Chain A
Amino acid sequence: MFFVLPIVIVALYSFNVYSLFPGPHGFTFDAWRSFVHNHIYIRLFWKSVKMSLIVSAIIVALAYPLAYYLALSGTKRKYILLLLLIAPFLTSYLLRVLAWKVILGDQGVINSFLFWTGLRSPEHPLSQLLYSRFAVMLVLGYIWLPFVALPIFVSLESLDKRLLEAASDLGASRLRAFWAVTLPLSLPGVIAAFFFVFIPTLGEFVTPSLVGGTTGYMYGNQIVDLFGAGFPDWETGSVLALFLIIVVAVLTIVFSRFLQPQQVATD
């Protein structure tokens, strides 16, 4: 009810059945038609997909060894380390994004260090660091890292350690055991983690509006602008929002079987 009803309302806006402005309006495909024909929005969507894919893939690759160490090294401090990983998330999301501005700016921590070492002159700072696509991806990666590490950690934690012993008894090297046992069994966690990041970052708009500048502008920003900051065009905004929901829903359905560990384990 609370999930479907709002989507239905958005859909009605997209077909102009509902309209923000009073006056005559009726069912029409106009906004959908112009969305399909206007390559600008599709291109922007594709750009956001690429950015989210890169962010998700990189942080999964980074988080895996981290989760692996925490779950399988047998260290007694693993929950303390896990807590440390999560600790920054007790502060505000905005604060963490803004902190990156201080680090990445032309007069920021990184550039100041480069000036100090003489690697860059103050006249030519590394200005691609902030207000760029790179900045958006870096900050998104940072924000979402724990959300990736946790599902992978859980899937590795619940791994039956006897399987690894069996592999070793049968003469498999540690690397082979990893490829043949650990990785396939932790795959559901990895895929879940991947989508944990990919789906929310695809519709992200706060981070790009803070550190993205003109080049880091994402699909989510366009939706926000259509609903508010630009001259309100809820019809097109709803089309964009629905398109996003549809893509995410399809992806979720396609990969949902990977998200069920029991099923994979019995395969």
Chain B
Amino acid sequence: MGTEETGMRLDRQSLLKLAAVAGGAGLVAGRAGIADAMRAAVWAETGRLQVLDWAGYGNDGGQAMFAQYVQQHPANKPQFTYMTNESDALAKIHAGQKPDIFRPYVGWVKYFATSGLVQPWDPSLIPNFKHLNPFMVKAGQYGGKQYGIPADWGFDAILYRTDKVTPKAKSWGLLFDDRYKGRIAWFDDLEMITIAGLYLGFKDPWNQTSAQLNQSKNFLISKKKNVRLTWSSETNLWEAFGSGDIWIAYAWPNDWVQMKKKKLPVVYMRPKEKPISWVGMFMLLEGSPRTQLAHDYVNAWSSTKSAKWLEDNYGYGEANTVARPSSSDLLHALQLTNPRAVAEPNAHLDRDIPQRALYARYWEEVKAS
């Protein structure tokens, strides 16, 4: 690690050489030449690329997703720290952590774009950008600028064991079903307030009135007795679900894939109130000293090869529309041929919550009660 870092460090002499090369190229070839020289100057960015990402997307199994980047910059492998959700990342960044890239989801685009913490990307530096789903690309924009580069996408829905559970209806209600007391797992996130609102039939679960918020909170508190676990990391869920301690869970498509791998009889149910869909959005931190490397990293994630790998192995969709998974089951389940699979009328695309702090407080109260 140490040698790699020193390998990237520039002395004054080579910096001058680099400037001369860039200048010379400019004289000879004009603007395009400068751009090329700038691209060549990537190695001038020192220090390892710092990525703040979710578990499973770093050196803990997600290596295939950024293999192209590692090939391109063997001396500057990314260094990972992990986030459990966007709030966690927000606290870490405010507390002084300085990642170059991190990955909030689509509901947070507006929040981060207006927070002053991130800067827009330059899509022209991402050759694979042209393959990305235009609907998702648009969802990553704010004020006409590309703050988020869409990557993985999928749904929040319900996973259950068919040998133990008979749902009364295809509904989010299964997460609250009194018949399965002690067998249910929720997700440890303020999104549970939104889901409660969705189930209770509120008009806009992402922007509930204070009466509705209270109703959602009290509803969750009244149903908490049925819940054995609120999971915050997938491994946590897999362990509890895989060992038979949990039969019903709020889950992501990857959890369904993993439980099927364990030969458990499971169904990933699409509730009639519709699942909530999400799109991972790579964001570039304001003041990042490694923007070129960051663009290359995101380009690697956007490649068709990476996208197919993600679909095959994690059961998530990828914004790259050229990629197709090997299994037709998965193709069907994720509706990968439908470019608007994450949008209405198919699913509710996760969105900005204007009163996010209040939602969070209510969710904390649910857990503490």
Interface residue ranges, A against B (CB under 8 Å): 20-22, 38, 40-41, 43-44, 101, 105-108, 127, 130-131, 209, 213-214, 217, 221-222, 225-234, 236
Contact = CB atoms under 8 A, between A and B. Distances in A.
B229 A213 contact: yes
B228 A131 contact: yes
B245 A229 contact: no
B63 interface: no
8 contacts: A41-B368, A105-B243, A131-B245, A222-B364, A228-B87, A228-B92, A229-B232, A233-B364
Nearest to B245: A106
B245 A21 contact: no
B91 A232 contact: yes
B224 interface: yes
A227 B368 contact: no
Q: Chain A at the B interface: mostly helix, strand, loop or mixed? A: loop
Contact of A227 (B91, B188, B240): B91
B244 interface: yes
Contact of A214 (B84, B228, B244): B228
Nearest to B361: A233
Contacts of A214: 186, 224, 227-230, 367
A231 B94 contact: no
A187 to B, nearest CB: 36
Nearest to B227: A214
A241 B228 CA distance: 26
A105 B242 CA distance: 11
A222 B367 contact: yes
Given A106-B244, A231-B359, 7 more contacts: A44-B369, A107-B243, A214-B367, A228-B87, A230-B190, A230-B364, A232-B91
B94 A21 contact: yes
B169 interface: no
Interface centre among B182, B361, B368 (most CB of A within 10 A): B368
Contacts of B228: 127, 131, 213-214
Contacts of B95: 20
Contact of A40 (B186, B243, B359, B368): B368
A44 B368 contact: yes
B368 A217 contact: yes
Interface string B80-96: 00001101101110110
A226 B182 contact: no
Contacts of A105: 243-245
Given A105-B245, A107-B244, A229 B88 contact: yes
Contacts of A40: 365, 368-369
A226 B243 contact: no
A229 B230 contact: no
Interface string B171-190: 00000000000100010101
Contacts of A38: 365
Nearest to A101: B239
Interface centre among B88, B230, B232, B239 (most CB of A within 10 A): B88
Contacts of A41: 368
Interface of B: 84-85, 87-88, 90-92, 94-95, 116, 182, 186, 188, 190, 224, 227-230, 232, 239-240, 243-245, 356-357, 359-361, 363-365, 367-369
Contact of A232 (B94, B229, B244, B245): B94
A100 to B, nearest CB: 13
Contact of A231 (B87, B186, B230, B365): B87
Contacts of B243: 105-108
B368 A232 contact: no
A243 B359 CA distance: 24
B357 A231 contact: yes
A130 B91 contact: no
A78 to B, nearest CB: 40
B87 A229 contact: yes
B88 A228 contact: yes
Nearest to B231: A213
B222 to A, nearest CB: 13
Nearest to A19: B94
Contact of A229 (B85, B224, B357): B85
Contacts of A233: 357, 360-361, 364
Contacts of A227: 91
**What 3 pairs between A and B have smallest CB-CB spacing?**
A231-B360, A232-B91, A44-B368
A184 B264 CA distance: 59
Contacts of A230: 87, 190, 360-361, 363-364
Nearest to B182: A127
B91 A20 contact: yes
Contacts of A127: 182, 228, 245
Contact of B94 (A20, A101, A217): A20
Contact of B368 (A108, A130, A209, A222): A222
A222 B230 CA distance: 13
Contacts of A226: 364
A30 to B, nearest CB: 13
A232 B239 contact: no
B258 to A, nearest CB: 17
B87 A232 contact: yes
Interface centre among B91, B92, B94 (most CB of A within 10 A): B91
Nearest to A210: B236
